Amino acid sequence: MSLFNVFDVAGSALNAQSVRLNVTASNMANAGTVSGTAEGAYRAKHAVFSTLMNETLGGRESTGVQILDVVESDAPAVEQYQPDHPLADERGYVFLPNVNGIEELANMISASRTYQSNVEVINTSKQMLLRTINLGQ
Amino acid sequence: MRFSLDNALGIHPQALLLRSRRAEVLANNIANADTPNYKARDIDFKSILNNVEGHGTSSMMVKTTHSGHITPDRFSGFSEDLLYRTPLQPSLDGNTVDTQVEQSKYSENSMQYIASLNFVNGSIKGLLTAIRGE
């Protein structure tokens, strides 16, 4: 029955969006962590989405969404001159993560909106199924 | 006169199956709203229902040439009838899902599902009245 598949599809989207939200939270939490080397600095992480495909008799059909990978941004770490910082290198610089706060906020809002949409889809499908169960009463 | 429950309920059971299938397709679109290169899909309700109503051979039907052949369920899978939506404003990442459009189509589809459900319900109630003879 197709309507039950809607729960799987929307559920996979809820999972994917919550992973995305988690990654954003991790980025925001680490936005202020300071490191003594450019390599040691925290790198912003981003979730990569991909369509979950299913082979059917008639061809390939999508059955939800999955997280393919969580990649690290290769933007350079931000250098900051703080000679009195205990982690500062010999030149007096510390390295801040390459987290872009504005990008992360936009990502967070987008993830929460898509999450909401999918919750609505589940609610609507639930109502449709409940009315079907009560058929003939 | 031969009575068939299929005829009693009319086209509505088939319409319900098609609506629930469409709900799945639209849910997929909403789920993939942020997936790069995902192309939004939909089914042409009218043309498929016309095929079913006119008992015409739809593209999804398999020919049966032997009495032992099993006729597949009409709605088991019609990926061939899945069309691609023409995007109003394509995005840079190749995704053609417009969440607002999909949401409105989804609620439209669910209203039509419930409408079909009410028609079937009315038919069942009528039949029950006839059976009970009250």
pLDDT of amino acid A127 = 93
Model-wide pTM > 0.90: no
pLDDT of amino acid B58 = 44
Question: What DSSP letter does each residue of A16-35 carry, written as one string?
Answer: HHHHHHHHHHHHHHTTT--B
pLDDT of amino acid A60 = 72
- DSSP letter assigned to residue A1: -
Judged against a pLDDT cut of 90, whether residue B6 lies above it is answered with no
Q: Select the more confidently predicted residue: A89 or B5.
A: A89
Q: Give contacts of A1 with chain B, Cβ < 8 Å.
A: 20
- Tell me which residue of A9, A100, A109 sits closest to B20, measured CA to CA: A9
Q: Which residues pair with A59 in a beta bridge?
A: A56
Angle at A15 between CA B24 and CA B108, to 5 degrees: 30
Q: Are A30 and A86 in contact (CB under 8 A)?
A: no
pLDDT of amino acid B1 = 61
Cβ distance A2 to B114 less than 8 Å, yes or no, reads: no
Which percentage of chain B shows pLDDT scores above 70? 78
Cβ distance B35 to A58 less than 8 Å, yes or no, reads: no
Chain A CA closest to residue B81 = A58
Chain B residues whose C-beta sits inside 8 Å of any chain A C-beta: 16-17, 20-21, 23-24, 27-28, 30-36, 38, 41, 60, 75-80, 82, 99, 103, 106-107, 110, 113-114, 117, 120-121, 124-125, 128
ipTM of the complex: 0.82
Q: Are A80 and A96 in contact (CB under 8 A)?
A: yes
Judged against a pLDDT cut of 80, whether residue B84 lies above it is answered with yes
pLDDT of amino acid A29 = 95
- A114-121 mean pLDDT: 94
Element (H, E) at A67: strand A59-72
